[in-house]
Amino acid sequence: MRRVLLLILICLALPLAASASSIDLSSTGGTITATTNTLSLGGDVLTKFGAISGSNLGTVTFTTPAFASGDVMNGGTIGAGGTFTITGNGSVMGVPNGVIFTGTFVSGTWTHSTVTNAYTLVADITGSGGAATITEITLSGTLSPNGTITAGSGDITLVTVPEPGTLGLLGTGLVGIGGLLRKRFLR
């Protein structure tokens, strides 16, 4: 009976043992297009995907939702919504081909340094299979409403979270199989 209870506890603990994994991404280039109250990034190229580095591993694109406070020129807080997509080109071994991550902004800040005339975006994104954090996308130069600015470097951390429901089903299935085997061998 003790073994059965131990087996049940181990199988039910499987979802708790599942941990999230993260992939660090870097990007460069691209153009930020500003409207009065939103930002869009296009043409940004992935240069790092985990331990893999290259000149064109994929693309990063996004459109922010409307600013919750502040504005494009002076900085502010980004509201929830918008779109964020990371696409791999699959040309390098280990980099997926097609959409790697798609999601929406949860929150973010857009700051402007008048000393260096640089803009910085830091944001949290949630979406398919996990979450992403834009650690920093830095832009230097002059930006005007309804204008554009070239993106500098971007650092993104992509965190994938396993689905606990699937692991729970696996655990209860293993308990059932263990029960059937026990019943068969006790006869």
Q: pLDDT digits over 92-138, tens only?
A: 777 888 888 889 999 999 988 888 878 888 888 888 767 778 777 77
Q: In this predicted structure, what is the pLDDT of residue 80?
A: 93
Residues 30-49 pLDDT 10s: 888 888 789 898 988 999 98
What is this structure's pTM? 0.72
Concatenated DSSP letters of 131-164: EEEEEEEEEES---TT-EEEEEEEEEEEEE---H
Q: Which residues pair with 59 in a beta bridge?
A: 45, 87
At residue 182, does pLDDT exceed 90?
no
Tokens of 128: 């398919």
Q: How sure is the predictor about 61, in pLDDT bands with cuts at 50, 70 and 90?
A: very high
Among candidate residues 18, 28, 17, 76, the one with its CA nearest the CA of residue 56: 28
pLDDT higher than 70, residue 7? no
Burial of residue 58 (number of CB atoms within 10 Å: 0-12, 13-18, 19+)? buried
